[in-house]
Amino acid sequence: MTDGHRARAACRITWLLALAGFLLAAATAQADTKEDVLAFMDHYLDSFDNQNSRYTASLHHAPLYLLAPHGALTEFETPENIRRTMRRWRRTLNYNGYDHTEWVSVNVKPMSGDTALVSTVFNRIKGTGELLHQGAATYTLLRQDGEWKIFLMHVHEPERALGFGQSGTE
């Protein structure tokens, strides 16, 4: 092997090691992102169940976009708009005997270190333990200043939830 061949081989090995390091770092970042997002979603559900509409609203990006199953898009421009809407939702749920929500499935697809899709199916449970409603939503999350925020909520039927190659609650 000539010196030129050795130099090219060394260069290729250096590039392959650098690429392997980059891919490993990216996979680790996505795993960290997924775990962070799952923790955020559990935290979000707890704050909703605890009826703290001001705090729950702070977990949303302003503006927040809501896409309804029939395609209507609603924009909530300010944290106050989001808070009022959360309170309205909770009043309606409480009127119907709502006690808490349980995840049926939570599937996360990191799109980058600061964006993720989360597709969920959930059960709304009455104080008697009976099922009030099963629903589903897919969320687009953004991380700003180190904090996850819900940017878009797409409400849909449970059978439309995205699996991202996963199954069950993670």
User: What digits encode the pLDDT tens for the residues 70-94?
Assistant: 999 999 999 999 999 989 999 999 9
Q: Which structure tokens are listed for 123?
A: 């059960």
Residue 114 pLDDT more than 80? yes
Please, which residues have CB within 8 angstroms of residue 84's CB and are 6 or more apart in sequence?
53
Q: Which residues contact 39 (CB under 8 A, 6 or more apart)?
A: none
Instruction: Kindly tell me if the per-residue pLDDT of 40 is higher than 60.
Output: yes
Q: Of the given ranges (52-56, 78-82, 119-123, 128-132), which has the lowest mean pLDDT?
A: 52-56
- Given a cut of 80, is residue 61 above it in pLDDT? yes
pLDDT at 29: 40
Query: Is 31-160 CATH 3.10.450.50?
Result: yes
* pLDDT (mean) for 39-51: 90
Q: What is the pTM of this model?
A: 0.77
